[in-house]
Amino acid sequence: MELDFVARVIASIPPDPRLEVPPGDDAAVIRPPAGRRTVVTVDMLMDGVDFRLGSDCTPLQVGHKALAVSLSDLAAMAARPEVAVAAVALPRHQGDEIGRGVLDGMLALAARHGITLAGGDTNAWDGPLVVSITALGSVPPGAAWRRDGAHAGDLLVVSGACGGSLLGRHLAVTPRIDEALAVAAAFEVHAAIDVSDGLSLDLSRMMLASGTGAILDLAAVPIHPDAVIMAARDADRLAPLDHALGDGEDFELLLAMPAAEALRLAAAPVAGTRFTVIGEVTSGSGLSVRQADGTTAALAPRGYEHAFDG
């Protein structure tokens, strides 16, 4: 049954010139693109933590999300997607059907972004579905975006809009690959991160890495319509803006750029996506907000963090 599954997986992967030895051997052999650096990222998604397999979350969506979050990390480095490998722990019950769905979800997104599946490992166990993907991308030497390059005086720019991802975008993740590559080709970017755990939390991580602080212009933060819907339903009365600042899983790009470059980027959509200036990098540390009346206040970053003991 496992052999059968693996054979079908291999058969469903289109041949790719980047693979000197294709999937099916003990290991794949990759031809690295000439004159470029390799960018590597790994993510693990677990049923019960990152998704809940069931009527509102199919194996197809899990496969899509597993690859999409890795692609989002490549986008945050301005890397072009090249090759991925996947490890999947399938529940014994309906494992074959689940595995098929996960693979189909991965392959559809892989085709869209020109990344090829070079191989993987499939196990079955009595536990829940776990999917881990390692994705490789490439960048010209020295061209990868990093978290630690923001300067005081840079403007902060975010793609799309944030908040309310739990209404569906947390599964139907759209990695900003096309946007990142287009921005990298035409704009100067000092620092970048993808918004996975919450706009304010990921901003605080970028500022900490850069040794800078930030002041957010609250009125400028693009709020996703889903954040408005969630706020209207909310028992704990979070405002749409709170959802935009803390929900996470938006998988938007957050960039620190020289002011003139930021304004130029915000002037017109790139790859069909709007970019919005939401604040400024400052010397010092920590986050603060500029309120509608012009006064400022400290902002405690909020978002999702994996909790563990010890």
Q: Min. distance of Cβ 40 from Mg ion in angstroms?
A: 13
Two tokens, residue 14? 């289109």
**Binding of residue 249 to Mg ion (CB under 5 A):** no
Q: Name which of 192 and 227 has its Cβ closer to Mg ion.
A: 192
Q: Name which of 60 and 69 has its Cβ closer to Mg ion.
A: 69
Q: Name which of 16 and 73 has its Cβ closer to Mg ion.
A: 73
User: Burial code of 250-281, b = ≥16 C-beta within 10 A, e = fewer?
Assistant: bbbbbbbbbeebbeebbeeebeebebbbbbbb
Torsion sign over Cα 43, 44, 49, 55 = positive
Report the C-alpha gap between 304 and 199 in whole angstroms: 10
Two tokens, residue 269? 């959509």
By C-alpha distance, which of 308, 290, 121, 306 is closest to 219?
Answer: 290
Phi-psi region of 77 (alpha: psi -120 to 50; beta: other; left: phi over 0): alpha
Taking the CB of residue 52, how many other CB atoms lie within 10 A of it?
12
Q: Name which of 135 and 223 has its Cβ closer to Mg ion.
A: 135
Q: Answer for the pair 177, 75: CB distance below 8 angstroms, yes or no.
A: yes
Q: Which helix (H) or strand (E) holds 289?
A: strand 286-290
Query: 3-class DSSP state for residue 168?
Result: coil
Count of residues in contact with Mg ion, rule CB under 5 A: 3
Q: Min. distance of Cβ 75 from Mg ion in angstroms?
A: 9
Of the residues 194, 197, 249, 252, which one makes contact with Mg ion according to CB under 5 A:
194
Q: Name which of 116 and 196 has its Cβ closer to Mg ion.
A: 196
Q: Min. distance of Cβ 194 from Mg ion in angstroms?
A: 4
Q: Min. distance of Cβ 292 from Mg ion in angstroms?
A: 31
Q: Name which of 19 and 195 has its Cβ closer to Mg ion.
A: 195
Q: Min. distance of Cβ 251 from Mg ion in angstroms?
A: 9
Q: Name which of 42 and 108 has its Cβ closer to Mg ion.
A: 42
Q: Min. distance of Cβ 41 from Mg ion in angstroms?
A: 8
**Stretch near Mg ion under the rule CB under 5 A, chosen from 51-59, 62-70, 196-204, 258-266:** 196-204
Q: Rounded to the nearest 5 degrees, what angle is found at the Cα of 181, between the Cα atoms of 73 and 169?
A: 50
Q: Min. distance of Cβ 202 from Mg ion in angstroms?
A: 8
Q: Name which of 75 and 103 has its Cβ closer to Mg ion.
A: 75
Q: Min. distance of Cβ 309 from Mg ion in angstroms?
A: 25
Of the residues 47, 73, 249, 280, which one makes contact with Mg ion according to CB under 5 A:
73
Rule CB under 5 A: which of 259-298 touch Mg ion?
none
**Stretch near Mg ion under the rule CB under 5 A, chosen from 32-40, 72-80, 260-268, 297-305:** 72-80
Torsion sign over Cα 96, 121, 75, 147 = positive
Q: Give the residues lining the site for Mg ion (CB under 5 A).
A: 73, 194, 196
